[in-house]
Structure 1
Amino acid sequence: MKVLVATEKPFAPKAVEDIRKEIEGAGHELVLLEKYTDKTQLLESVRDVDAMIVRSDKVTQEVLDAAENLKIIARAGAGYDSIDIEYAKTKGVVVENTPGQNSNAVAELVFGLLVYAVRNFYNGKSGTELMGKKLGILAFGNVGRNVGRIAKGFGMEVSAYDAFCPAEIIEAAGVHACNSQDELFQTNDIVSLHIPATPETIQSIDYRTVNQMGKGGILINTARKEVINEPELLKLFADRGDLKYISDIKPDADEEFKKFEGRYFATPKKMGAQTAEANINAGIAAARQINAFFAEGSTKFQVNK
């Protein structure tokens, strides 16, 4: 079988080396398309491959139509909104993600950003500490659970809400389970977003929702840009001078948010999974899942069933 690694933003060399060992060790052929600059390069590369490993690369209907032999796509990471999973399903293409491989990296970034925010972005003025603060986690998946684990080390009071995770599972992790999203925003000093971009969540973090936070509230987003209702959040920031917003996803309205000096920060690009460990772990997981698919028909991590 022919396996294509198509990465506009390439894996680290060590990750590529380990992916090659996994794929070729299973008797398959590995081909690389790294740092491509035009969609036509991707369309040409997918024509005769049986499997693809991608990162945040867009796998559209056009790409899927060009990939006549394609049987499986492995997304090296948790999110898969860059792949047209429903159209892939109509083509008989299995789409899998690699959940949990970058969750610690994202969780650690949350606290790097939080310390930066509560210390007033290191502007020389006195800030505050995280110990004793109330942290609310919206969605208690792999990342959310790691955020909760680390927060306890800071001495924070931790609660979470997840519409799809039973309260007893949240409580078993030593985290208070809120009964609703509104309760989460109403009772916490800081809310950390870990929800996916779905029809239900897109632009759901709006004026009404965030305005429920108490004085000095901090909203942190290391999830997806699309879940933020940017016009409404901008209006809220104009109405309330006490809130802060920090993210590793630069919003479309970045220049508008920058006007709220000392209350807003976004990294130049998405940074959550940008560690050597997460890069390697996700790549190896994707390679192993492809090998398992061809060897055993395993679709354990399929997201388009």
Structure 2
Amino acid sequence: MKVLIATEKPFAATAVEGIKAEIEAAGHEIVLLEKYTDKIQLLDAVKNADAMIVRSDKIDSDVLDASDKLKIVVRAGAGYDSIDTEYAKKKGIVIENTPGQNANAVAELVFGLLVFAVRGFYNGKSGTELKGKKLGILAFGNVGRNVARIAAGFGMEVYAYDAYCPKEVIESAGVKPMENQEELFCTCDIVSLHIPATHETKESINYAMVGKMKKGGILVNTARKEVINEPELIKLLAERTDLKFVTDIKPDADSEFAKFEGRYFSTPKKMGAQTSEANTNAGIAAAKQINSFFATGDTRFQVNK
């Protein structure tokens, strides 16, 4: 089988070596397309592929139609909204992700952003501490659970809301479950977002929701850009000069947010999974899943069933 690694934003060299070793040990062939600058390059590379490993690359109907042999695409990472999963399902192409492989990297970034924020973005003036603060985690999946683990070390009070996670699971992690999203925002000094971009969540973090936060509240987004209602959050920040917003996903209205000097920060690009460890973990997990799929038909990580 021919396995294409197609990454506009490439894996680390060590990750590529690990993926190649896994795939070739199973008797499959690796084809590498890195730093491509045109969709035509991707379409040409896909033509003879039986499987693909991608990162945040856009895999639309054109890409999925480019090969009659394509059977599986694995997103090396958790989020897969850049892939047309419904069209893939119609064509019988399995789409998988690698949940949990980037979780610790994203969680650590949350606290990098938070320390930066509570210390006034290192402006030389007196800031505050995280110890004793109430941290709200919106969605208690792999990343949320790692955030809770790290928060305990900072001595924070940790709360969480997840409509799909049993309260018992949240409590077993030493975290206080909230009845709903509104209660989480009302209760906590800091809210960290870990929700996917779905029909229900897109633009759900809006004026009314964030406006429920206490004085001095901090909103952290390392999830997806689409969950933020940018015009409404800009309006709120203009009215509530006590609030801060930090993110590793540059908003569309970055220049408007940038006007809130000392209360807004965005990394130059999405950095949650940008560690050598996460990069390697996700890539090798993707390779192993492809090998299992071809060996036994294993689809336990399929997201388009």
TM-score norm. by structure 2 comes to: 1.00
Shift of 1:144: 0.1
Post-superposition Cα deviations, 1:268-292, rounded to whole Å, max 9, x if no partner, equal 0000000000000000000000000
Counterpart for residue 41 of structure 1? 41
Q: Distance in 2 between matches of 1:98 and 1:198?
A: 18
Q: Distance in 1 between matches of 2:29 and 2:112?
A: 40
Q: Distance in 2 between matches of 1:265 and 1:235?
A: 17
Counterpart for residue 108 of structure 2? 108
Post-superposition Cα deviations, 1:58-108, rounded to whole Å, max 9, x if no partner, equal 000011111211000010000000000000000110000000000000000
Shift of 1:183: 0.3
Counterpart for residue 93 of structure 1? 93
Shift of 1:126: 0.3
Q: Distance in 2 between matches of 1:170 and 1:220?
A: 20
Summarize the alignment of residues 137-148 of structure 1 with structure 2, pairs less than 5 Å apart.
Answer: 137-148=137-148
Summarize the alignment of residues 45-84 of structure 1 with structure 2, pairs less than 5 Å apart.
Answer: 45-84=45-84
Q: Distance in 2 between matches of 1:67 and 1:191?
A: 43
TM-score norm. by structure 1 comes to: 1.00
Post-superposition Cα deviations, 1:231-251, rounded to whole Å, max 9, x if no partner, equal 000000111110000000000
Counterpart for residue 126 of structure 2? 126
Counterpart for residue 179 of structure 1? 179
Q: Does 1:228 align with 2:219?
A: no
The alignment partner of 1:32 has SS state of strand
The alignment partner of 1:135 has SS state of strand
Counterpart for residue 202 of structure 1? 202
Counterpart for residue 256 of structure 1? 256
1:84 partner amino acid: D
Aligned length: 305
The alignment partner of 1:259 has SS state of coil
Post-superposition Cα deviations, 1:88-140, rounded to whole Å, max 9, x if no partner, equal 00011000000000000000000000000000000000000000000000000
Counterpart for residue 285 of structure 2? 285
1:183 partner amino acid: E
Q: Distance in 2 between matches of 1:116 and 1:68?
A: 49
Q: Distance in 1 between matches of 2:195 and 2:68?
A: 34
User: Identity rate of aligned residues, in percent?
Assistant: 76
Q: Could you list the runs of 4 or more consecutive aligned residues of structure 1 that deviate by over 2 angstroms after TM superposition?
A: none
The alignment partner of 1:4 has SS state of strand
The alignment partner of 2:96 has SS state of strand
Counterpart for residue 170 of structure 1? 170
1:280 partner amino acid: T
Counterpart for residue 239 of structure 2? 239
Post-superposition Cα deviations, 1:173-223, rounded to whole Å, max 9, x if no partner, equal 100000000000000000000000000000000000000001000000000
Q: Distance in 1 between matches of 2:293 and 2:193?
A: 33
1:228 partner amino acid: I
1:132 partner amino acid: G
1:10 partner amino acid: P
1:130 partner amino acid: L
2:241 partner amino acid: G
Contiguous gaps of at least 5 residues in structure 2: none
The alignment partner of 1:238 has SS state of helix
The alignment partner of 1:168 has SS state of helix
Q: Distance in 2 between matches of 1:265 and 1:228?
A: 15
Counterpart for residue 152 of structure 1? 152
Q: Distance in 2 between matches of 1:248 and 1:235?
A: 21
Q: Distance in 2 between matches of 1:241 and 1:48?
A: 56
Q: Distance in 2 between matches of 1:269 and 1:68?
A: 34
Q: Distance in 2 between matches of 1:4 and 1:257?
A: 39
